[in-house]
Structure 1
Amino acid sequence: MKKILLLFILGCVASCKNGVKNESFPLKLGKVFEKHGGIDLWRKAQILSFNKGEEVHTADLHSRKIVINSPKYSLGFDGEEIWLDVENSDSFKGNKDFYYNLYFYFYAMPFVLADDGIIYEKVADLVFEGTKYPGYKISYQANIGTSPDDNYILYYHPKNYQMEWLAYTVTFNSKESNHDYHMIKYTTWQSTNGLLLPKEITWYKMDEKGFPTEPEKPATEFTLPFISEAKLSDSFFEKPIGQ
Structure 2
Amino acid sequence: MKKFLQLLIIAITISACKNDPKSPISPSEKNDSTTIMDTDKKEIITTSIYPESISKVFEAHGGIDQWHKMNSLSFTMEKPNGKEVTTTNLKTRAELINTPTYTQGFDGKTLWVKEKDNIDYQGKPKFYKGLMMYFYAMPFIVGDDGINYKETEPLVFEDKTYPGILISFEAGIGESPNDTYVIYYDSETRRMEWLAYTVTYGKEQESQDYRFIRYNNWQTVNGLLIPKSIDWYEHDNKIPTEKRNTVEFTDVILSETILEQSQFLRPEDAKEID
**TM-score, normalising length from structure 2?**
0.77
Deviations 1:52-96 (A, max 9, x none): 110110111111111111222110111111110011564532101
Deviations 1:22-69 (A, max 9, x none): 643211211111111111110010001101110110111111111111
Q: CA RMSD in A?
A: 1.7
Aligned residue number for residue 166 of structure 1: 195
Aligned residue number for residue 52 of structure 1: 77
Check the 8 A contact 1:185/1:203 in 2, yes or no. yes
TM superposition shift of 1:102 = 0.7
Q: Report whether the alignment pairs 1:214 with 2:242.
A: yes
Alignment size in residue pairs: 222
Check the 8 A contact 2:181/2:198 in 1, yes or no. yes
Match of 2:112 among 76, 83, 86: 83
Check the 8 A contact 1:67/1:100 in 2, yes or no. no
Q: Report whether the alignment pairs 1:40 with 2:68.
A: no
Distance 2:202 2:146 in 1: 22
Alignment of 1:17-166 (within 5 A): 23-53=48-78, 54-88=83-117, 90-166=119-195
Distance 2:47 2:143 in 1: 11
Check the 8 A contact 2:97/2:105 in 1, yes or no. yes
Aligned residue number for residue 13 of structure 1: none
- Percent of counterpart pairs with the same letter? 45
Check the 8 A contact 2:175/2:202 in 1, yes or no. no
Aligned residue number for residue 210 of structure 2: 181
Distance 1:137 1:174 in 2: 20
Distance 1:162 1:99 in 2: 27
SS at match of 2:53: helix
Distance 2:87 2:55 in 1: 26
TM superposition shift of 1:230 = 1.4
> Bigger radius of gyration, 1 or 2?
2
Quickly say closer, same or farther: Cα 1:92–1:176, change in 2 above 3 A. same
Deviations 1:95-150 (A, max 9, x none): 01111211000000000111100111100110011110001000000001111111
Flag the structure with more relative contact order, 1 or 2, with Cα contacts below 8 A and sequence separation at least 6.
1
Check the 8 A contact 2:114/2:269 in 1, yes or no. no
Check the 8 A contact 1:149/1:176 in 2, yes or no. yes
Distance 2:157 2:64 in 1: 28
Any gaps of 5 or more consecutive residues in structure 1? 1-19
Check the 8 A contact 2:73/2:88 in 1, yes or no. yes
Match of 2:256 among 218, 229, 235: 229
Distance 1:133 1:150 in 2: 21
